[in-house]
A and B are shown apart, each in its own frame.
Chain A
């Protein structure tokens, strides 16, 4: 089974983002960039499926500027076999990315696409579901366990009250939740080997996809800041404040 794993370049999760003074977005110049954490989980799951003999080849894809090659290299160092960069400098919304991925699926014919459930920059939580829709495939979102079950895929999903399990016809889409696995760190020899793995470069126009955004960002602002309150000295004082000052209990 061939796997496609899309990875997104995002502001590192440890960075405290700052809103630009002109309100057009957040500061991304000179900020540490990394692979979206949920996408690392997706790459790890793909590599584990290959190690189990379920997957035969893993293709890592990233859509965005040239620098996304770094995230593809990370995926290759973790164990993906080759990469595809869909190079584009402007904004790419989930619908546009889903259309680009659909075009790549038509070329590559993977049986499973594993994506992160959510990118930690735009927090949209949409690309996997949108790709599944465009392909007319089944979707197993927010996965905490993925097992091949004959010609089907059994996916355990994290839902509001606990867990649920669904069976998907293949080909299918899976999006990863936090508890699916713990991604490995790439070893130095694997990082060296990854440098020799091929990355193909294509443009949205080569794939015949119009990536014009549908949303216009009118402004980006900082949310109201909470003021730090006071320290209380004892449990008695805390309960007194909650009862008589805040009046919440």
Chain B
């Protein structure tokens, strides 16, 4: 039986976490992808390596990703699939547990490994333990930790695009608006390099020091929870257990002490750099390269050094 992936997209292409989800799904069966909204994104999904079929709908209730109609659509499609997957993004985490409950199955959240069709590895306790769980449910509903799977290539596939059926909109909620930050920088969960600031940044004004270095590296900007709570950085920058999980090639933690909740979001990065004035800070215990000192002195030096080729 085929497996279905609910993909996130930006209007023209699938997000990288969606392609990681397709890679995880490919271990379970023939992959079909459901794309809601822009037709260009459905065309892009058809190009992704390993995708056998794309289901697409531009119907009104799905356009803004409201959980109730999207879950109803997935439930209508479910009889054809053994597994239903989505990235563990804000959208996937919103919809998939609702789908699971409607199907009377226990959702398997944030998987980091596929053992077999019934058995999955998932982090618990902020990633301080890994549980291998076997599901007894007839159908599996899953969200996927994108950082744990290499994304499927964006090109190389040539799937057919079909119109998705429509399901009744339960009409329980309506979309009023969104404030989505526009940025030239790469998306946090897809970036090759991430530079993150913590509470020690002291103000949102000072966060520009992080941005300066990030722009020299073509990096995304992240933040610790403390920095977000203090208003130095917007909520969508938060890296950690309950924020975004990232695993870039290079993660630079600036003025971040390294609470376990933050480490949970970045400790699978390939190379970690910590810059902190407290040489006892726990962040140094996971860093490949540590630099002890005043970030307000070191960061401008770093920006200048990176400018030299």
A92 to chain B, nearest CB (A): 11
8 Å CB contact of A166 from B174, B180, B217, B279: B174
A contacts with B: majority SS: mixed
Cβ-based interface call for A196 (8 A) = no
Chain A contacts for B229, CB-based, 8 A: 178-179
Cβ-based interface call for A8 (8 A) = no
Check A248 against B236 for contact (C-beta < 8 Å): no
Cβ-based interface call for B249 (8 A) = yes
Given A228-B284, A248-B271: A17 in contact with B125 (beta carbons within 8 A): yes
Cβ-based interface call for B277 (8 A) = no
Within 8 A of B (CB), among A220-239: 220-223, 226, 228-232, 234-236, 238-239
Cβ-based interface call for B164 (8 A) = no
Check A178 against B250 for contact (C-beta < 8 Å): no
Check B236 against A121 for contact (C-beta < 8 Å): no
A141 and chain B: residue at smallest CB distance? B94
Check B67 against A123 for contact (C-beta < 8 Å): no
Check A123 against B291 for contact (C-beta < 8 Å): no
8 Å CB contact of A217 from B64, B90, B132, B242: B132
Cβ-based interface call for B292 (8 A) = yes
User: When chains A and B are docked, how far (Å) is the Cα of A58 from the Cα of B289?
Assistant: 51
Chain B contacts for A232, CB-based, 8 A: 289-291
User: When chains A and B are docked, how far (Å) is the Cα of A216 from the Cα of B136?
Assistant: 8
Given A133-B98, A138-B172, A232-B289: A120 in contact with B131 (beta carbons within 8 A): no
Check A230 against B290 for contact (C-beta < 8 Å): yes
Cβ-based interface call for B60 (8 A) = no
Given A94-B106, A139-B68, A223-B123: A218 in contact with B132 (beta carbons within 8 A): yes
Check A159 against B91 for contact (C-beta < 8 Å): yes
- Among A75-83, A124-132, A200-208, which stretch is in contact with chain B? A124-132
B199 to chain A, nearest CB (A): 14
Cβ-based interface call for A29 (8 A) = no
Given A126-B107, A235-B301: A133 in contact with B127 (beta carbons within 8 A): no
Cβ-based interface call for B305 (8 A) = yes
Given A238-B289, A238-B302: A137 in contact with B172 (beta carbons within 8 A): yes
- A 127-171 to B, binary, CB cutoff 8 A, 1 in contact else 0: 111111110111111101000000000100111111111111100
Count of chain B residues with a beta carbon within 8 Å of a chain A beta carbon: 92
Check B91 against A218 for contact (C-beta < 8 Å): no
- A 1-37 to B, binary, CB cutoff 8 A, 1 in contact else 0: 0000000000101001101000000100000000000
A95 and chain B: residue at smallest CB distance? B106
Within 8 A of A (CB), among B175-192: 175-181, 189
Cβ-based interface call for A184 (8 A) = no
Cβ-based interface call for A122 (8 A) = yes
Contact size range, A: 35 or more
Chain B contacts for A124, CB-based, 8 A: 97, 107, 109
Given A130-B97, A165-B177, A223-B127: A158 in contact with B235 (beta carbons within 8 A): yes
Check B126 against A162 for contact (C-beta < 8 Å): no
Check B235 against A179 for contact (C-beta < 8 Å): yes
Cβ-based interface call for A117 (8 A) = yes
Cβ-based interface call for A118 (8 A) = yes
Chain A contacts for B273, CB-based, 8 A: 238, 242
Cβ-based interface call for A188 (8 A) = no
Check A215 against B172 for contact (C-beta < 8 Å): no
B226 to chain A, nearest CB (A): 11
Chain B contacts for A38, CB-based, 8 A: 242
Chain A CB within 10 Å, residue with most, of B131, B271, B272? B131
A231 to chain B, nearest CB (A): 5
Given A17-B128, A98-B101, A229-B288: A215 in contact with B133 (beta carbons within 8 A): yes
Chain A contacts for B279, CB-based, 8 A: 231
8 Å CB contact of B193 from A19, A93, A226, A249: A249
Check A220 against B129 for contact (C-beta < 8 Å): yes
Cβ-based interface call for B227 (8 A) = no
A232 to chain B, nearest CB (A): 5
Check A160 against B173 for contact (C-beta < 8 Å): no
Check A118 against B175 for contact (C-beta < 8 Å): no
Cβ-based interface call for B1 (8 A) = no
Check B250 against A246 for contact (C-beta < 8 Å): yes
Check B290 against A216 for contact (C-beta < 8 Å): no
5 A-B residue pairs with Cβ-Cβ distance under 8 Å, sorted by A, are A133-B102, A161-B236, A230-B289, A239-B305, A249-B250
Given contacts A125-B97, A161-B236, A226-B286, 11 further A-B contacts (CB under 8 A): A129-B98, A131-B101, A133-B102, A139-B67, A162-B181, A178-B235, A179-B235, A230-B290, A231-B289, A248-B249, A249-B193
The 6 lowest CB-CB distance pairs between A and B, nearest first, are A133-B101, A138-B172, A129-B97, A130-B101, A229-B288, A126-B97
